[in-house]
Amino acid sequence: MVELLSATERQDALQNLPGWSEISDRAAIGRSFVFKDFSEAFGFMTRVALAAEKADHHPDWRNVYKTVDVVLTTHDAGGVTARDIALAKAIDAIARPFRAA
Ligand SMILES: C[C@H](O)[C@H](O)[C@H]1CNC2=NC(N)=NC(=O)C2=N1
């Protein structure tokens, strides 16, 4: 069973995740990504989906045109865990080569 991160652990982790922030009312962390167009946004989502499936840890996300809003929480633990931090880092690595808006 993966353990919830403490408030201090969450804040420390977010120090190394620029662009990500706590979504307190959802016991989650989140970040919005804006891409050049829908094709880039969906290409990003496709790669994240494969990484999420490999990690067996899946985002709660929303896509409108070239924007992808990503929310991460660990449902099995009821809040933010190391799995969310790891997936956020993987998502940032996937986003890096894409062209921004
Ligand atoms: C059975 C399966 O391993 C679990 O339901 C996984 C699937 N993906 C998951 N994703 C997220 N974000 N949190 C979970 O607790 C979780 N659990």
The most distant pair of C-alpha atoms in the chain lies apart, rounded to whole Å, by 39
Residue 1 resides in a domain: no
CATH of the domain at 96: 3.30.1360.20
* Residues within a 6 A CB radius of ligand 1: 56-58, 73-76
- For the chain, what is the domain count? 1
Q: Which two tokens stand for residue 70?
A: 């990503």
Ligand 1 atom closest to Cα of residue 77? 15
The domain in which residue 15 lies consists of: 7-100
Residue 99: the pLDDT is 79
ipTM over the 0.85 cut-off: yes
**Distance, CA 99 to ligand 1 centroid (Å)?**
30
**pTM, 2 dp:** 0.96
Residue 36 resides in a domain: yes
Residue 2 resides in a domain: no
Ligand 1 atom closest to Cα of residue 72? 12
What average pLDDT values come out for the chain (101 residues) when binned by 10 residues? Answer: 94 97 95 98 98 98 98 98 98 92 76
Residue 19 resides in a domain: yes
Ligand 1 atom closest to Cα of residue 75? 15
